[in-house]
Every structure is written in C-alpha cells, then in structure tokens.
Amino acid sequence: MRANCWMGRNTVQVRDVADSQILNQRDAIIKVTSTAICGSDLHLYDGYIPTMEKGDILGHEFMGNVVEVGPGVSNLSVGDRVVVPFPIACGACNSCVDGLYSLCENTNPNAGMAEKLWGHASAGIFGYSHLTGGFAGGQAEYVRVPFADVGPIKIENDLPDEKVLFLSDIFPTAYMGAEMCDIRPGDVIAVWGAGSVGLLAMASARLLGAEKIIAIDRVDFRLEMAREKTGAVTINYEDEDVMAMLNDITAGRGPDACIDAVGMEAHSDVLPIQLYDRVKQAVRLETDRGATLRQAIVACRNGGTVSVIGVYGGLMDKFPVGSWMNRSITLKTGQCHVQRYTRPLLELIERGEIDPSFVITHRLPLEQAPDGYETFKNKEDECVKVVLSV
Amino acid sequence: MAASSAVTINRSEQEITSKLSQADPLLTHDVRISYAPAPGDRGTEVRVVLDQSVPGGALGQKVAAVVGSDPQRQLDDALRRFKQLVETGEVIRSEASPGGTDAKQQRRQRPAQPLPTDQ
C-alpha cells in the first residue's frame, strides 16, 4: 500500500510499504478515505519531537471504512464508516474509566521511554513518534486501529467526510480547550493562534456562551477567517501591542480565560525573547519555545484560567511563575480525551449547530502529501488546513 | 541488588491472581508479590520484589541497563505486560514494538509501518 512516511527533518515521502495487518484481537483495519495534516504533524516535520525513525508513517486524523476486524471486536462490521480518535485507549484502565482516554495506561508499548522524559507515560497515539508507542499512522491507504471496539465512532448518516473528519482530533481538542475555560455568561476569551484548532476553539467558545472572543495571530488571512467565521475581535501581534489591546478591550481586567492554541513553536514579537528561545531550542537547551504561554498567563485576568491545547514536548524556560502564583491563575491542559467528545460533537454537527469544515483551505490527493506539508508549514497560499483524499 | 516494582491494576485481587499463570515467567519464579486494595475503588495495588543480582558490580549494572537486560527493567516490563493482559486481555503490540513492551526493543525500534509478513 501507499503511505506518507517521515524520512528526516523537513522530508516526507509517499512510499510503498507492506499492507496493514491485525496484530491484536481487538484491532480493525480501516481503508482510509480522508486524512488531514495536523499542526502538530509540523512539529514532527520540523524535527522537534524526539524518537522519530526514518520510515514512520505519519497521520493521526483519519476516517474510512472497516475492511477487517479482529476476533475481539464485536461492535464493528466490515463496511462500517468510522472516524478514529487520535489517542489509542483500552477503555478498561483507571484513566479510561475516568474518561481520561489520552492517558490510557495500557496502549503505549514504549511507556518506559515516555516515563524517562515526562515522569509518567501517556497513551499511544497514531503516527506520532516512538515516544507515544510507534503506531503506524493514517496518512496511508490502510491503517490498523487497536482497541477498535473502544475508539472509533460509526458515522451512520450521509454527511460528507469533510464535516465529520475533524472529530478525530482538532474539533474535540478545540472544544476541550474551550470547555476547560469554564465559560460563564459575559466571559471574554482570548485565543492565541488562529490555525484550525484556534479557529475551532473560538467557534466552540461561542457555542459555550462566551460574550466576546479575541483572536491573536500574526497571519492576516487567518485573522480574517477568525473575524468572518467566529465573529472574533482580532489582534495582529506584529502590528499591535497585545497587552495594551487586551486591557483596552476588557477595560483593564484582562481576558477571563486565555487559550494557547500554538504550542512549542511559538513566535514572539519581542525580538530578544524570540532570539533567546530560537537559540536555546536550536542547541537543544530548551525543547519548547514559550512565548505564547508566557503571554497568555501574564495577560489573563486575576483569578482567570489559562487553557493549553497547543502541543509541548519537553522543557521551556522563563515560566512566569510569579504572575501565575500571585494572581491565582488556574492552568489547565492535556492531550484531548477525544473519545469523551465524539458522540456529543457529532450530534452538534448533525443538528447543524457547527460545521467544522470551514477551516479547510486545501484538498489534495494522498500522493501530494509532501506538497501539502510544505505549503502548510510555510503558510503559503493562505493555507490553514490540508485534507488528503485517499 | 533487589529490584522492585509496583503497579495499580483496575481489577480485584482474585481476578489478578487467576491470570498469574499467563504472566511472564519472571513473575512466577523467585519473586515476592503482595496485593492491597487500591484506595478510591481503583482496583488492586500489586507490588513485586525480585531478588536477583547482576554480575560485574556497578559497571555490570550500567551495561545491563543500557542493553535493557537489568532486572529492574525486566521487572517493570513484566508488570506492564501483566497489567495489559489482566485489564485488556492481551499484550498490546505496535508496528514499531511488535513484541510489546520490552526495554531491549526500545533501543532497536523498527519504523512505525506494517510488518513485512505475518509476524
């Protein structure tokens, strides 16, 4: 079969690989129909996530049709159309029972590797380094899905792929980011990053009753999308003073909650901070650039919440611990517990309350995945989200 | 040097001990296993102590740790695999770690793509 493989920093290739096969009794094989490139795939592409191996099949946002099920799967049949959550979860351990699916205790065969870096391990993830298990990803013709009786959600309507594909990651991730803000009537929510997750977090904050949404980015076409699609007020941090603008919009209070939808490759408009982080990251003294998270904490109102859904991998410097502690800021975060959200969010889509496909700007065949990565990385051609058809 | 490891399994002691015969041989020989109810209705705490020394003293231990053959890692792996077996019915395999959790294999990962033949 054909699959998009990581071949080294800034290089992916669509190659011939062996066909997917059942390895565990509760596996299913899915024939992929649509798969997307995630902003977090760019962290792999850029070489900032350790433990990648040449030949790893990428992709953790995918959907398709079941073509084979293992003997332990009784709730899926050949021909079922499913969307697959990116974290692999067993459904039986204490974390899964508590709904913390991305912290499943059983699905990462390389948990020992993750424990060295993080103290405790998190769940296995499709196509996302060996630290999260070394599972082949879904940017391929076929993919093996472990615990297929737990994660995949059946799509039993005729909604097109584009409307439901993002239940695999970015819509639940964005929704969880907004939910962690505990939005109350009148709340002002600021979102750093107007990529697809940021945009969907803005739309989710709207659904959850936010009074006002503020989008912060440096790319004009993304800010325009935020204004048009989510009704956000926008700040281009390269042209405007973010703190002054936020204080003006909120009459000095600061946003009630701040969402970091950027993560480890943040940019800063303050040149010394940007240079400091770039240099330390380049020489591997710091794995994660922290400009967004620092600013989100400092900007947040006293007693407010900072919700982190952008991906971080290791360590960052200059955490504003004093601002965080003295001003009673609550910091919430996590890889999304997607399995918790697929059903209710599918219902929102079915009722027409949201159509997450508004973020799609590029549609390409799988064979052109390398072009998709380049265009997305460089934000060329007003790229926000690339969907690959298989 | 004695190695010890502990894990919480979301099952009763009785269910856990009934699966012990399917565990790695390491867990059925030369180990002391103790069980205690996990607080908060979270199943059972399983603690294992292994009395086995590595030849070659401190250097031998370091070498063994690097190649993944020291008793501590083997015990950690065996307990992880046992937890998977009890909670999910089998040991989870990935394309990069088709043998499941194994510290030795973590240093020799194959790419995360399907295995060439039925393995």
pLDDT at B56: 65
pLDDT at B104: 78
pLDDT in tens, A229-260: 999 999 999 999 999 999 999 999 999 999 99
Where does the pLDDT of residue A113 fall: very low under 50, low under 70, confident under 90, or very high at 90 and above? confident
Search chain B and give the residue with CA nearest A58: B112
Q: E strand or H helix at B61, and its extent?
A: helix B57-67
Owning domain of residue B76? 2-106
Place of tokens 């992709």: A59
Residue B47 domain-assigned?
A: yes
Residue B11 domain-assigned?
A: yes
Q: What is the pTM of this model?
A: 0.94
Contact assignment for B94 to A133 by CB distance below 8 Å: yes
Q: How many Cβ atoms from other residues are within 10 Å of residue A77's Cβ?
A: 11
Q: What angle do CA A231, A232, A234 make, to 5 degrees?
A: 140
Q: Does B76 touch chain A (CB under 8 A)?
A: yes
Question: How close B29 comes to chain A (CA, Å)?
Answer: 23
Mean pLDDT along residues A332-359 = 98
Search chain B and give the residue with CA nearest A104: B84
Residue B117 domain-assigned?
A: no
Mean pLDDT along residues A263-281 = 77
pLDDT at B30: 77
Question: How close B83 comes to chain A (CA, Å)?
Answer: 8
Q: Which residues does residue A68 pair with via DSSP β-bridges, in sequence order? A: A29
Question: How close B66 comes to chain A (CA, Å)?
Answer: 13
In angstroms, the CA A227 to CA A248 distance is 18
Where does the pLDDT of residue B50 fall: very low under 50, low under 70, confident under 90, or very high at 90 and above? confident
Residue B31 domain-assigned?
A: yes
Q: Does B67 touch chain A (CB under 8 A)?
A: no
Say if residue A276's pLDDT is above 80: no
pLDDT at B119: 54
Tokens (6 digits) for B44: 């059972």
Say if residue A284's pLDDT is above 90: no
**Do A293 and A316 meet the contact criterion of CB atoms below 8 Å apart?**
yes
Best of A13, A23, A144 to disrupt the B interface (most B CBs within 10 Å) is A23
Question: How close B106 comes to chain A (CA, Å)?
Answer: 7
Mean pLDDT along residues A93-97 = 98
pLDDT at A233: 98
Residue B115 domain-assigned?
A: no
Which chain B residues have a beta carbon less than 8 Å from that of A105? 83, 87
Contact assignment for A24 to B117 by CB distance below 8 Å: no
Say if residue A60's pLDDT is above 90: yes
Question: How close B48 comes to chain A (CA, Å)?
Answer: 17
Beta strands in chain B (DSSP E): 2-9, 31-37, 44-51
Q: Which of A90-104, A271-285, B41-55 has maximum average pLDDT? A: A90-104
In angstroms, the CA A282 to CA A276 distance is 10
Say if residue B67's pLDDT is above 60: no
pLDDT at B1: 57
pLDDT at A289: 79
Q: Within chain A, which residue ranges are assigned CATH 3.90.180.10?
A: 2-169+336-389
Which chain A residues have a beta carbon less than 8 Å from that of B103? 112
pLDDT in tens, A354-365: 999 999 999 999
Domains in chain B, number: 1
Residue B59 domain-assigned?
A: yes
ipTM of predicted assembly, 2 dp: 0.91
Alpha-helical (H) ranges within A180-219 are: 196-207
Domain spanning A174-333 has what CATH number?
Answer: 3.40.50.720
| Residue A69: φ, ψ to 5° | -125, 145
Which chain A residues have a beta carbon less than 8 Å from that of B84? 90, 106
pLDDT at B2: 77
pLDDT in tens, A174-224: 999 999 999 999 999 999 999 999 999 999 999 999 999 999 999 999 999
Q: CB within 8 A of A327, min separation 6: which ones?
A: A300, A302, A303
pLDDT at A292: 93
pLDDT at B25: 87
Which of the two residues, B102 and A377, has the higher pLDDT score?
A: A377
Residue B112 domain-assigned?
A: no
Say if residue A274's pLDDT is above 90: no
pLDDT at B81: 96
- Of chain A, the percentage scoring pLDDT greater than 70 comes to 99
Contact assignment for B10 to A144 by CB distance below 8 Å: no
Instruction: Compare CB distances from B42 to A94, A107, A111 and report the shortest one's residue.
Output: A94
In angstroms, the CA B51 to CA B58 distance is 16
Contact assignment for B10 to A93 by CB distance below 8 Å: yes
Tokens (6 digits) for B110: 């194959």
CATH architecture of the domain covering A2-169+336-389: Alpha-Beta Complex (3.90)
pLDDT at B55: 62
pLDDT in tens, A128-178: 999 999 999 999 999 999 999 999 999 999 999 999 999 999 999 999 999
Residue B116 domain-assigned?
A: no
Q: Does A99 touch chain B (CB under 8 A)?
A: no
Q: Within chain A, which residue ranges are assigned CATH 3.40.50.720?
A: 174-333
Beta strands in chain A (DSSP E): 2-8, 11-16, 28-37, 56-57, 61-69, 81-84, 87-88, 124-125, 142-145, 153-154, 188-192, 212-217, 233-236, 257-260, 305-308, 330-333, 362-365, 386-389
Quick one: CA torsion of A216, A221, A226, A228, rounded to 10 degrees? 150
pLDDT averaged over chain A? Answer: 95
